[in-house]
Structure 1
């Protein structure tokens, strides 16, 4: 029998990364083109009172950076996002595993959970203000409440879709409840959990900023309200630019979660 030899392909750097470089180059060109057109047409085609312009936005960001306004408020919002995500994700994952592991209890509570999930989270803000004030705790819990349901529902779905044949096989081999949970339920439901975490990441940002917009004296949401109250359109756009950067970083994190979740998918499930 003739042995089959594997020959490594000597691929150039461009053949390996050319597609990615091209995509990012086109994206950068689109952003630059948009900013140039915006700058040139501002105050000619549009009233800068309502649209501002990139140079004014950059000036406002520079001013806020120099006096510390930008970093102090950004840090507050980032903390609210991180804490809210952690609180909501941990509570959602644990609750999802526990309730989905008790089908009878889950069936009883399912309509109540869905009713709470259907409530717009911005409607909870006034109630949270009454309970927790306008400090960081309110924004963290509002972000956590937003994250909780997304993680809970995806985790519970993952647990409920575990292959019953695998559970029966472990039982036939003498495995108890602990072995079934550790060796079957947790690994099999991990895709649902990671999907919930991936989907919930941007909503932590949304929940935190909504809380700041409703009532706050710190954070990026507060900066938006303060700038809008002074008809400072450049300040509003500057804050939105910072939020866009944070959202982009969160999307990178989501991409890492997505690749991580892909490792748990059985082969042949992607079509």
Structure 2
């Protein structure tokens, strides 16, 4: 963990040095002095930044939880049932390549401009990765292992909790790492429409007001949120997947 903190710190230092160098070279308002941006954080509470962050996080967490529950169920059904696999497999692989942002107008038309449409879009981005990961993980489980556990008197529920779930958790966490960055990007895009709260709205609002200090501050905060979410998945994996 300390090694990762060091890597993050070195990366932030390197990025800030490049940022400062670009500011000095070009001397333009579009690229402000990073020191001025960091000094502006004293307005953190005055600008209700915590509320913007909280609303964005709620949307992400809601989308992730829904995607985990539905994606795990669908992926499991596809793995253990040939009928479900024949029904759902073409649907999954036909819809997976479709850019989900292209569906935003349809989703907003059906579900409105509020938080529901944003959560649904995040869910749609994450759920396919979960479905494919769970299906492939369950399919790869050694059948002999399941037969041996069943011969020892284990019920289907015990097999699920003690064999299948421990085997698919690492794959799910890896899938979340891949999709969480995409989810943040899409959230930023979604929060440009039909809302006055969230980090995406905060950044774009600052941009339209030509308030570059606040814009960069919002970008920094959103970046820290992304790093925190990514690190949380690492910590969760260390706590849950202790055998790896």
TM-score normalized by structure 2? 0.83
Q: What's the counterpart of residue 40 of structure 1? A: 24
Match of 2:102 among 100, 103, 123: 123
CA deviations on 1:87-140 (whole Å, 9 max, x unpaired) are 211221122222222133213321211122111111121112112222122212
Within 5 A, what are the aligned runs for 1:96-115?
96-115=75-94
Distance 2:61 2:240 in 1: 20
Distance 2:65 2:2 in 1: 37
* Pairing 1:147–2:137 present: no
Q: Would you say the 8 A contact 2:126–2:183 is kept in 1?
A: yes
Distance 1:219 1:78 in 2: 9
Q: Would you say the 8 A contact 2:78–2:89 is kept in 1?
A: no
SS at match of 1:91: helix
Within 5 A, what are the aligned runs for 1:148-167?
148-167=127-146
* Pairing 1:54–2:54 present: no
Distance 1:20 1:76 in 2: 28
Q: Residues 103 and 260 from structure 1, CA distance in 2 versus in 1: closer, same or farther, beyond 3 angstroms?
A: farther
Match of 1:234 among 213, 222, 238: 213
Distance 2:235 2:128 in 1: 22
Q: What's the counterpart of residue 57 of structure 2? A: 78
Q: Residues 31 and 88 from structure 1, CA distance in 2 versus in 1: closer, same or farther, beyond 3 angstroms?
A: same
Deviation at 1:179, TM superposition (A): 4.8
TM-score normalized by structure 1? 0.76
Distance 2:38 2:3 in 1: 31
- Structure 1, unmatched stretches of 5+, are 1-16, 266-271
Q: Would you say the 8 A contact 1:96–1:153 is kept in 2?
A: yes
Distance 1:107 1:236 in 2: 48
Q: Residues 242 and 19 from structure 1, CA distance in 2 versus in 1: closer, same or farther, beyond 3 angstroms?
A: closer
